[in-house]
Amino acid sequence: MKTLLVESDPKRQERWEQRLRDLDAQPTVVASCADAMQLPNNSRFLLAIVASSEIDRELIQGAVRELKRQCQVVLCLIDRQDAQADRAAYEAGFDGCLFDDSSDLEIATKIGQANDLEKIELRLAQAQKLESIGELAAGIAHEINTPIQYVGDNTRFVQTACDDLVDVLQSCQALIATLNEEGDVDKAKQTLQTSLDDADVEYLLEEIPSAITQTLDGVDRVANIVRAMKEFSHPGVSEMALTDLSNAIENTVMVARNEWKYVAEMETEFDPDLPPVSCLPGELNQVLLNMVVNSAHAIAESLGESSEQKGKIKISTHLATPFAEIRISDNGTGVAEEDIQRIFAPFFTTKAVGKGTGQGLAIAQTVIVEKHGGAIEVESQLGQGTTFIIKIPIDQTRTPEGLSDAEQTPELPKANSPEQLAAD
């Protein structure tokens, strides 16, 4: 397990670093929160311990959120008797506090709780992913069954063709024997021609290569579906990994194919200049799946059950430095203007009762904004369609100066300032 210690005082830094090493907590030590946020985001930590002195100078709520992107749990290190620092820490969004005189048992307990929380979140993410796959299972089975059927049909055809070709080859052997024994060329030619006509060799020569090609295409399609399923359902990891977004999108489109193919044409457009992006691939796949399924449902609702027309879903990627941008567009029902600001709220849904849980976009908000430091934008017109724009930082190193205006909240009250406490 890895921990992060944020402490500028050399003596306290040395003392706490040693305590964490004694607990096998593998500490990384930095002097300030700004230094912590300059660490690459693939430097994931189970626990961060931030000295209360850092609150006075630079810890703002946005910065705490940034720390939580890299750390499972963020604790504030305060004096046990300092109620003001305790209050300021919770206002800043810390998950709890440790004290200067905390025992090794208390520290070990906090580490254990953080470890348990991480395991629970990983299991929950995997359960959500498997739930999605379970909901799509019938469609995926259909997608596999279709190519398997024509693989079987073509294989049986080739088997029958082989029987006919065996007859032809046997006739050729008989022809050679006849010529050797009797020398009657006309009789041998007539026998061979009869075998060729019975086997319909011209038809076989035309159809056998096509049947083999279709069979191989079917095998490839099944293999692609299985590969997409395997990559999509692979257990999530707690650390960032370089991910090819084009491949992740293609896998998601494949897994969700039966959800959209009856109601929409799918178009993908990938930026060839987009580099691999550091992200949590399993959780990003879940977000993409939720949005593709949402688009399919929106189009189905817009077209109605009796419509023979199809809508359109387009997924594109774009390098918009410093972000990798994913656009998912559909020409479905759209979202009313008054609902746009609420669609990311947990349990809010525009679908009919029983059709949606209101969790898909809430999960997307958590994964993209909180865990990746990215953004989700929505462009929608009621009755025209919706575009979701996902932005993920390519360079996962961010500092407080790099935060958006929304994240730049005022500095917290000084933990040792009675005037500030009175003003509150």
C-alpha to C-alpha distance for 226 and 241, rounded to whole angstroms: 22
Q: Is residue 201 part of a domain?
A: yes
> Tell me: the pLDDT tens digits for 46-83?
888 888 765 544 555 666 777 777 788 888 888 777 77
The reply to whether omega before 322 is within 30° of 0 (cis) is yes
- Domain boundary at 221, 253, 279, which? 221
Compute the C-alpha angle 124/244/263, nearest 5°: 75
C-alpha to C-alpha distance for 362 and 366, rounded to whole angstroms: 6
214/346 same-domain check: no
Which pLDDT score, from 0 to 100, does residue 319 have? 94
387/291 same-domain check: yes
Q: Is residue 181 part of a domain?
A: yes
User: Residue 71's domain spans which residues?
Assistant: 3-119
- Domain boundary at 100, 119, 138, which? 119
CATH (domain of 90): 3.40.50.2300
Q: What is the pTM of this model?
A: 0.57
14/88 same-domain check: yes
Which pLDDT score, from 0 to 100, does residue 401 have? 39
279/200 same-domain check: no
Q: Is residue 168 part of a domain?
A: yes
71/205 same-domain check: no
Q: Is residue 142 part of a domain?
A: no
156/205 same-domain check: yes
Which pLDDT score, from 0 to 100, does residue 47 have? 86
For residue 396, pLDDT over 50 is answered with yes
Average pLDDT of the segment spanning 19-42: 81
Q: Are 165 and 202 a contacting pair, CB within 8 Å?
A: no
389/266 same-domain check: yes
20/101 same-domain check: yes
- The 3 state secondary structure assigned to the chain is CCEEEECCCHHHHHHHHHHHHHCCCCEEEECCHHHHHCCCCCCCEEEEEEECHHHHHCCCHHHHHHHHHHEEEEEEEECCCCHHHHHHHHHHCCCEEEECCCCHHHHHHHHHHHHHHHHHHHHHHHHHHHHHHHHHHHHHHHHHHHHHHHHHHHHHHHHHHHHHHHHHHHHHHHHHHHHHHCCCHHHHHHHHHHHHHHHCHHHHHHHHHHHHHHHHHHHHHHHHHHHHHHHHHCCCCCCCEEECHHHHHHHHHHHCHHHHCCCEEEEEECCCCCCCEEECHHHHHHHHHHHHHHHHHHHHHHHCCCCCCCEEEEEEEEEECCEEEEEEEECCCCCCHHHHCCCCCCCCCCCCCCCCCCCHHHHHHHHHHHHCCCEEEEEEECCCEEEEEEEEECCCCCCHHHCCCCCCCCCCCCCCCHHHHHHC
Q: Which of 69-78, 188-197, 254-263 has the highest mean pLDDT?
A: 254-263
Q: Which of 30-34, 120-124, 176-180, 256-260 has the highest mean pLDDT?
A: 256-260
252/378 same-domain check: yes
For residue 316, pLDDT over 90 is answered with yes
> Tell me: the pLDDT tens digits for 328-339?
999 999 888 877
> Tell me: the pLDDT tens digits for 6-21?
888 888 888 888 988 8
Domains contained in the chain, number: 3
212/344 same-domain check: no
Compute the C-alpha angle 123/144/354, nearest 5°: 55
C-alpha to C-alpha distance for 155 and 152, rounded to whole angstroms: 5
Average pLDDT of the segment spanning 184-209: 77
Q: Is residue 207 part of a domain?
A: yes
- Domain boundary at 221, 250, 266, which? 221
Which pLDDT score, from 0 to 100, does residue 421 have? 27
For residue 261, pLDDT over 60 is answered with yes
C-alpha to C-alpha distance for 221 and 224, rounded to whole angstroms: 5
Which pLDDT score, from 0 to 100, does residue 221 have? 80
C-alpha to C-alpha distance for 15 and 10, rounded to whole angstroms: 9
Q: Is residue 417 part of a domain?
A: no
Average pLDDT of the segment spanning 397-416: 37
Q: Are 36 and 68 a contacting pair, CB within 8 Å?
A: no
266/385 same-domain check: yes
Which pLDDT score, from 0 to 100, does residue 55 have? 57
Q: Is residue 77 part of a domain?
A: yes
For residue 137, pLDDT over 80 is answered with no
Mean pLDDT of the chain: 78
Range of weakest confidence among 29-43, 172-186, 267-281 = 172-186
Q: Is residue 423 part of a domain?
A: no
64/168 same-domain check: no
C-alpha to C-alpha distance for 159 and 296, rounded to whole angstroms: 41
- Tell which wins on pLDDT, 154 or 54: 154
For residue 360, pLDDT over 70 is answered with no
Which pLDDT score, from 0 to 100, does residue 323 have? 92
CATH (domain of 251): 3.30.565.10
